[in-house]
Amino acid sequence: MRTFWHWQQFLYEGEGSGGGGGGTGDGGGSAIAAAAAAAAKEAGAGEAYYPEGLGDNYRGANDRETIDKLFTDLKGRDAPTPYHPEGLAETLRGANDRETIDKLTADVLGRPKPPEKAADYKLELSEDFTKKFGAFNDKDNQVLDVLRETAHELKLDQATFNAIVPGFYEKLDKAGLLEVSDPAAEMEKLVASQPKGLSHADKLTRVAKLANDTASGVKTLEANGVLSKAQAVLISSLLDTAEGIGAVNAILGALGEKGAQPGNGSGGKQLTDHERSMRAMYPSIFKQ
């Protein structure tokens, strides 16, 4: 059994000692010295490296200390302030300029876009709206066509376009600038004018035919050149009431256009294009 003294002797024996077990020809302490030298090198001991121009305040006792000083200074410096235009929403502000650009790009590209063509806008009205203001004819409606063209020029998306008509009508109604007819009430007026012997269902059928034939008659006058587009639109605006349908249908019957007479659904005599034009030009001559 070796005593503590023996271990001291083993560690500190001079060069050439072969005793003590584990000694080498390079001296018993060479392995430890090599390990210590390697550890010192790993720890950055030895001649420190200083790049040219590096200030003394950054120079450490070794490479690692120099790195620590430089990194501490780098962390302490204020980062460049990112540019945020005045009024830019907080959700679009990035930590730096590139992040702000990314957020703005995602916002712009994610916004709804207008349809490819003006004709692609679809007018979808709620049931509450149609009950209050009536249904819109979405085909051959010149007013809606103009609205679609305007919306497309302004690059409005579908949702915004669809909100224009209801919003406009509601504000007109609230301001008292719109005479609103109740479609159900007007229909009942026409139903009441039908022969009493008919069932309610038959009366409704005749009223629907009367309204459709009257509208078709106005379009026929426009197609034949008797009415201009503006005149046809104006006359069609009367068809929201029972009185309007009755009045326009009476005129159509007098002109001989297809149009059911209130109460019996019969049509007038068909006239030639020349006769229709003459009646339109000289209504007093053909007055009945």
Q: What is the pTM of this model?
A: 0.40
For the chain, the residue count is 288
Highest mean pLDDT among 23-32, 54-63, 158-167, 232-241 belongs to 158-167
Q: Quick: pLDDT tens for 74-115.
A: 766 666 788 899 999 999 999 888 898 998 999 888 889 999
pLDDT at residue 284 in the model: 47
Identify residue 192 by its one-letter amino acid code: A
Q: Are 48 and 66 in contact (CB under 8 A)?
A: yes
Quick one: residue 87, left, alpha or beta (phi over 0 = left, psi -120 to 50 = alpha)? Answer: left
Cα–Cα dist 217/230, whole Å: 15
Q: Is the dihedral of CA 247, 252, 258, 261 positive or negative?
A: positive
| Residue 54 vs residues 60, 79, 270: alpha-carbon distances, Å | 11, 22, 106
Cα–Cα dist 73/44, whole Å: 20
Tell me the pLDDT band of 282, cut-offs 50, 70 and 90: very low
Q: Quick: pLDDT tens for 207-216.
A: 999 999 999 9
Identify residue 4 by its one-letter amino acid code: F
Mean pLDDT lowest among 19-28, 58-67, 119-128, 145-154: 19-28
Q: Is the pLDDT of residue 165 over 60?
A: yes
pLDDT at residue 270 in the model: 54
pLDDT at residue 120 in the model: 94
- From the number of C-beta atoms within 10 Å of its C-beta (0-12, 13-18, 19+), residue 207 rates as buried
Cα–Cα dist 135/282, whole Å: 36
Q: Which residue has the tokens 């001989």?
A: 256
Q: For the chain, what is the mean pLDDT?
A: 77
Cα–Cα dist 37/24, whole Å: 18
Domains of the chain, residue spans = 118-174, 183-281
pLDDT at residue 153 in the model: 96
Cα–Cα dist 108/164, whole Å: 23
Mean predicted confidence (pLDDT) in 158-171: 92
Q: Quick: pLDDT tens for 7-60.
A: 444 444 444 444 444 444 445 567 776 776 666 666 555 677 878 888 888 788
pLDDT at residue 143 in the model: 82
Distance of alpha carbon 133 from the chain centroid:
27
Q: Is the pLDDT of residue 201 over 70?
A: yes
Q: Is the pLDDT of residue 260 over 70?
A: no
